Amino acid sequence: MKLRNIAIIAHVDHGKTTLIDVLLKQSGSFRDNQRTEERMMDSNDLERERGITILAKVTSLVWKDTRINIVDTPGHADFGGEVERILHMVDGAIILVDASEGPMPQTKFVLSKALKIGLKPIVAINKIDKPDERHDDVLNEVFDLFSALEANHEQLDFPVLYGSAKQGWMAMEPTGPKESVGPLLDLVVEHVSAPTVRPGPFRLLATTIQADPFLGRILTGRIASGTATPNMSVHAISRDGKVIERGRISKVLAFRGLERQAIEAGVAGDIVSIAGLQEATVADTLADPSVTEPIAAQPIDPPTLSMTFKVNDGPLAGQDGDKVQSRVIRARLLKEAEGNVALQVRETGDADAFEVSGRGELQLAILIETMRREGFELNVGRPHVVYQIDENGDRHEPIEEVIIDVDDEYSGNVVQKLQERRADLIEMRPSGHGRTRLVFHAPTRGLIGYQSELMSDTRGTAIFNRLFFEYGPHKGEISSRHTGVLISNGDGDSVAYALWKLEDRGPMLIEPGVKVYEGMIVGEHTRGNDLAVNVLKGKQLTNIRSAGKDEAVALTTPIKLTLEKALSYINDDELVEVTPKSIRLRKAHLDPHERKRAERAKGSDAA
């Protein structure tokens, strides 16, 4: 059977997972009466809740006499490590673009990687049914983007389709015919070249890794040459040519629809999964023992943010989760880093703390959320950028390209706030009726916590996108949070009367009846300094009539912090305590005397 391997590239929420649903249904991968879920490729609970693709996944369908392997790529730059590896398994790419929004930063990020390795793209303009669609302008923007990314003449001569994945059609013209996605599959067979097969023994570059409770480590990649069969002897070669391990293939699995099935033999050009090896990982070459040269693997962009993961040492530790020991946390982080090449884990001087570096806040927040759902308890510090030092000893920091679509009335406020965070305004132009598109180059550390502030400033109407741009010279000091916090001065359960009396001091972060402890952050102070408060004090009940006896306690709704907001809210001397049931904020030093000592030490160091 003829083979085609393609990736679907799109920005977040431009409809790639929905399109794959339609392709699978219309190609006959399911029976007419078979029950299927919406967004079938988003198998992870977090992916379904957030509506984003986190892990790259492969599916397969048969169209006429051709098997088409399709890779669904993540749409966030934070998961770019997945994207870079996956593009080496395919020979073509479908660039899916929203007919209203046009090409966005993540489209640009993945497309630049695809063009660099010579993939021939097909452009599909999706959501043509939207009332504000502007397909002609979007097509021009896509062409300009290809030119800016230095596409060659063959890549610039891309075919274009229009359609609506939601309505289940693609056609050569925006007006239809609105029948099926068949024209897209026909174009894939015609436009994308068959996989290049080299003569010689078996070789495969591992591009993704999974752990299976029954089969152990499963490595997925495209067979570059030869065939893979169960019980065959192979060895794994690292990128620098060292043999890591020798072993046998226990199973060869291929993708058939959404299922992975065991097959007799994997042929050159097909995307398969190999089970049986214990130490081989991503970017290693699995090969016949006679092969000594590894397949060249793409270097990965460096991590830009790091966070400290610590053992939960608070008074409430161990009450919600069952995985609290440092050795368990260490093993889990190392297991994550093994399968995710965009993540790095380093030991620190403290045996109970680990430094985890990644691509961005979202990637690290997803890791923390996954761990808390698995029963882990941990303390997490404020995210810090990863600096680079040049040969002259000068510090360079990650700079990001920020694109914000905002209503005209709020654009001045957005520009002012970002310039306070050391961002440079690069471009300002209209982006539809009453909207402005702002493009900035901003230091990553200035963007920590900015998204929630932007949503407040623009009444939730702004669209915020960011993408790693380059390492640039250090931009100088950036002020963090302007307010102090209210800190509990005792252990117990919070009382409504005490919270009500403290509302003049600032908005609360907790409700009545919540367990608190000394050093835990319970609210935000309206002034710049921190204040220790008593949230445990109830109303004095005596037999003497008091003037305030009939006061009604009417509490303002407390600020609810999500995990991402909590991570961006804290200062350097504060931690987020994460458990399966709670997200709490606390000071790094719970004892007030220790806090004062730490402040004095910090002041003397600065002097």
pLDDT in tens, 10-67: 776 667 778 888 888 877 654 444 444 443 344 445 544 444 444 456 788 888 888 8
CB 302 within 8 A of CB 341: no
Q: Which residues of 5-40 are buried (b: 16+ CB within 10 A; e: fewer)?
A: bbbbbbbbbbbbbbbbbbbbbbbebeeeeeeeeeeb
Rounded distance between C-alpha atoms, residue 426 and residue 440, angstroms: 5
Answer CATH for 2-191 from 3.10.520.10, 2.10.77.10, 3.40.50.300, 1.25.40.10: 3.40.50.300
Q: What one-character DSSP code corresponds to residue 89?
A: G
CB 314 within 8 A of CB 491: no
pLDDT attached to residue 486: 92
| Residue 503, token pair as written in the block | 């509302």
| Residue 335, token pair as written in the block | 């297991």
Please list, in sequence order, all residues whose beta carbon lies within 8 angstroms of the beta carbon of residue 274, skipping any fewer than 6 positions away.
204, 206, 218, 219, 220, 221, 228, 234, 249, 251, 252, 253, 286
pLDDT attached to residue 84: 64
Please list, in sequence order, all residues whose beta carbon lies within 8 angstroms of the beta carbon of residue 412, skipping any fewer than 6 positions away.
none
pLDDT attached to residue 106: 63
pLDDT attached to residue 53: 45
pLDDT attached to residue 105: 63
Other Cβ atoms closer than 10 A to 84: 23
pLDDT < 70: residue spans in the chain: 12-14, 28-57, 74-85, 105-106, 109, 258, 298-301, 339-341, 432, 480, 540-552, 604-607
pLDDT attached to residue 548: 53
The alpha carbon dihedral of 17, 94, 221, 105 has a sign of negative
Rounded distance between C-alpha atoms, residue 291 and residue 114, angstroms: 28
> Are the folds of 2-191 and 203-287 the same?
no
The alpha carbon dihedral of 206, 210, 215, 217 has a sign of positive
Residues making up the binding site for GTP: 13-18, 126-129
Rounded distance between C-alpha atoms, residue 246 and residue 382, angstroms: 42
pLDDT tens per residue, range 295-309 = 887 655 677 888 899
Rounded distance between C-alpha atoms, residue 155 and residue 141, angstroms: 15
Q: Name which of 469, 470, 468, 473 is nearest 390 in CA terms.
A: 473
pLDDT attached to residue 21: 80
Q: Name which of 63, 56, 123, 66 is nearest 88 in CA terms.
A: 56
Alpha-carbon separation of residue 34 from 30, 37, 169, 432 (angstroms): 6, 10, 21, 42
Fold observed for domain 203-287: Elongation Factor Tu (Ef-tu); domain 3 (2.40.30)
CATH code, 389-473 = 3.30.70.240
Domain-by-domain residue ranges, the chain? 2-191, 203-287, 389-473
Rounded distance between C-alpha atoms, residue 219 and residue 230, angstroms: 14
Residues making up the binding site: 13-18, 126-129
